[in-house]
């Protein structure tokens, strides 16, 4: 797949920050540093998919009705917003972050929030349990559907694999923050192939960010820009732009769209300098970030996208989606370790 140079905004944002810092007054510089300091102070103890920004999400897809076994009947349970319906499901699945040790009794919810269309059913909140959260059962969708539905992934759920020749990247999907994006990823997973999906840009952390993804004082914000970038548009498929969803601070391990897709990137650093304009729909598990680092160190050739210096892989890395058996996670780690051994020989 070809890349879209107009989508390479990531580098431009970093360059813009430098230009602004060089032109503003001392007072504005002080204010900027104060803002950055506050941002770091409030988020330095929170990493990746444990971010408060992520845990606060509770979104669904309008005009969609998910089916499944009811664990709480909407005829007996009414709330005044889809967010409250979502939170009620989360409370039955390990709490707000889905990280509790108890059983996940609810993994999907359906809410009737259109007062005119719902009539006496307005406010009904149906809490349900899917047979397969990675392939949820849909009853109907379309503009005529009055329901809003969403998925809730419990501990160890909602994890898919991005298979590459350099190892498997296990990605925890954020269904409650980016439901439309996750729905598209689950479509790719169901197809079991993604011809044309690949990584074509790779830039390491260089000397600008440390191994934890923290920016090194006085270092530039790029290049390199500490990311790998590619496309998730399969050959023969028509990609429909995905509206902006939750756009938190991009941190190390974040998987996000460039614009409205289908180009995406995985961040190797905590990009506090970037504006919150990228829909983050997943996080690479920390154990698999070494695979991302390995790809970022592959041979590249320089290129210029709309005035920004970038590094393009000499050989793009093909990717495909695969299911991850969370009960055998150690086997997946061993597989990546085997690849490490082969590459070092």
First-to-last C-alpha distance (Å) of the chain: 32
| Any domain includes 335 | yes
Residues 251 and 193 in one domain: yes
Q: Are residues 196 and 120 in the same domain?
A: no
Q: Are 134 and 186 in contact (CB under 8 A)?
A: yes
Q: What angle do CA 121, 86, 92 make, to 5 degrees?
A: 110
**Cα separation, 143 vs 278, whole angstroms:** 27
Q: Could you tell me the residue range of the domain that residue 123 belongs to?
A: 58-151
To which residue do tokens 């498929």 refer?
A: 237
CA distance 315 to 317: 6
At 139-163, the pLDDT tens digits run 999 999 999 999 999 988 999 999 9
Contact criterion met (CB below 8 Å) for 303 and 149: no
Domain termination residue (choose one: 151, 169, 199) = 151
Kindly state whether residue 49 falls inside one of the protein's structural domains. no
Residue 33 lies in a domain: no
Q: What is the mean pLDDT of residues 96-124?
A: 87
> Considering the domain boundaries, does residue 140 fall inside one?
yes
Same domain, 13 and 77: no
Q: Is residue 295 over pLDDT 50?
A: yes
Q: Do 111 and 169 have their domain in common?
A: no
**What CATH number is associated with residue 123?**
3.50.4.10
Domain assignment present for residue 23? The answer is no
143 part of a folded domain: yes
What is the pLDDT, as a whole number, of residue 46? 31
For the chain, the domain total comes to 2
Is residue 207 located within the same domain as residue 336?
yes
Q: What is the pLDDT of residues 297-314, one digit of tens each?
A: 999 999 999 888 999 999
* CA–CA separation, 226 and 252 (whole Å): 9
Q: What is the pLDDT of residues 49-101, one digit of tens each?
A: 445 566 679 999 999 999 999 999 999 999 999 999 999 999 999 875 555 66
Q: What is the CATH number of the domain that holds 340?
A: 2.40.100.10
Q: What is the DSSP letter of 209?
A: B
Same domain, 314 and 175: yes
The pLDDT tens digits of the residues spanning 172-202 come to 999 999 999 999 999 999 987 789 999 999 9
Q: E strands within the chain?
A: 61-62, 64-66, 69-72, 108-112, 125-129, 138-141, 147-151, 159-164, 167-173, 198-203, 227-231, 254-257, 263-267, 280-284, 300-305, 308-318, 320-323
Cross-strand bridge partners of residue 267: 227
Residues 141, 81: one domain? yes
**What's the mean pLDDT in 218-236?**
94
pLDDT band of residue 19 (cuts 50, 70, 90) is: very low
Nearest to 289 by CA among 312, 271, 266: 266
329 pLDDT band, cuts 50/70/90, is: very low
Domain boundary (111, 126, 151) is at: 151
């Amino acid at each position: 797949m070809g890349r879209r140079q107009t989508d390479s905004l990531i580098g431009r944002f970093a360059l813009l920050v430098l230009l602004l810092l060089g032109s503003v007054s001392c007072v504005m510089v002080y204010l900027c540093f104060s803002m950055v300091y506050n941002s770091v102070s409030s988020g330095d103890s929170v990493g990746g998919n444990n971010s408060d920004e992520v845990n606060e999400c509770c979104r669904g897809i309008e005009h969609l009705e998910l089916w499944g076994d009811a664990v709480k009947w909407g005829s007996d349970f009414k709330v005044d917003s889809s967010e409250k319906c979502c939170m009620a499901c989360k409370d039955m699945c390990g709490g707000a972050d889905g990280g509790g040790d108890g059983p996940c009794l609810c993994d999907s919810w359906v809410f009737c929030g259109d007062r005119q269309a719902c009539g006496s059913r307005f406010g009904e909140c149906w809490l349900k349990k899917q047979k397969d959260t990675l392939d949820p059962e849909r009853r109907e969708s379309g503009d005529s559907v009055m329901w809003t539905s969403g998925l809730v992934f419990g501990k160890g759920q909602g994890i898919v694999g991005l298979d590459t020749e350099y190892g498997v990247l296990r990605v925890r999907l954020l269904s409650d923050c980016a439901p439309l994006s996750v729905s598209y990823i689950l479509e790719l997973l169901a197809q079991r192939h993604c011809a044309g999906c690949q990584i074509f840009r790779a830039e390491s952390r260089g000397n600008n960010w440390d191994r934890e993804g923290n920016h090194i004082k006085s270092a530039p914000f790029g290049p390199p820009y500490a990311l790998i970038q590619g496309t998730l548009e399969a050959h023969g498929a028509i990609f429909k732009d995905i509206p902006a969803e939750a756009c938190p601070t991009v941190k190390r391990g974040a998987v996000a769209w460039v614009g409205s897709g289908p180009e995406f990137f995985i961040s190797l650093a905590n990009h506090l300098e970037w504006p919150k304009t990228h829909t983050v729909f997943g996080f690479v598990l920390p154990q698999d970030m070494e695979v991302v680092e390995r790809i970022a160190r592959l041979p590249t050739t320089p290129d210029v996208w709309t005035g920004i210096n970038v590094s393009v892989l000499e050989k793009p890395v093909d990717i495909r989606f695969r299911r991850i058996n969370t009960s055998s996670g150690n086997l997946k780690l061993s597989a990546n370790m085997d690849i490490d051994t082969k590459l070092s020989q």
